[in-house]
Amino acid sequence: MGGAIIVVICIIGSVIWGLRAGKKRRSAMGELAARLGLQFAAERDYRIATRHAFLNKLNHGTNRYAYNLIRGEYQGREIAAFDYHYETHSTDSKGRRETHHHHFSFFILALEKAFPELAITREGIFSKIAQAVGFDDIDFESHEFSKKFAVRSKDRKFAYDFCNAQMIDYLLDHPGINIEVDQNALALGIDTCLKVEEIEPHLNQLTQIRSLMPNYLFDE
């Protein structure tokens, strides 16, 4: 009996801690958005998952939605940064259905034109995305780059144009980056929810990556 009471107390404590942490995060993200001159919306947004379902990272599981959404013009580019949730389900050894909640941070920059699908991921990371894209890994003259990153696209020319010498140097200096391009979206996906103080640096990475895309890609 005493053990059951302890379990209940722990569960209640965990729920209260989660609620307080969520409120603190919402407040901090709202303050960040205000400082950057961007809009903030804490409530769940199911439209982003539907509108950007072509992005593999946003097309897993069920009950998909964005929340803590920061959006607007940043360094002359239209961006969106948000926390993201989806659910997967499994069955335990006793046949009971379990729900698993997944949360992570995601960043999208709107491109001026549509491009073929391209995924640049760390080798061994985001393997589900690589499998979803379903294209062979493209090798580059830089053996170091090819060793650290898996580049997949049906359009090999676009992949080579995107991964120009300057882009390769930048990505080698920032090996934690995982990029997805599809249609008119340039996106960065993260494995977990970032700390609020890490969001602005990732927005800077996003705009920097866009600046390294050759101008001729947008003239064609």
pLDDT tens column, 116-145: 999 998 866 444 454 444 556 888 989 899
Range of the domain at 29: 2-219
Distance from CA of residue 69 to its chain's centroid? 13
- Evaluate if pTM is beyond 0.85: no
Structural domains of the chain, count: 1
- At residue 79's C-alpha, the angle toward residues 177 and 157, to 5°, is 55
- How many percent of the chain have pLDDT more than 70? 84
**184 in Cβ contact with 113 (< 8 Å):** yes
Selection from 146, 151, 148, 115 nearest residue 133 by Cα: 151
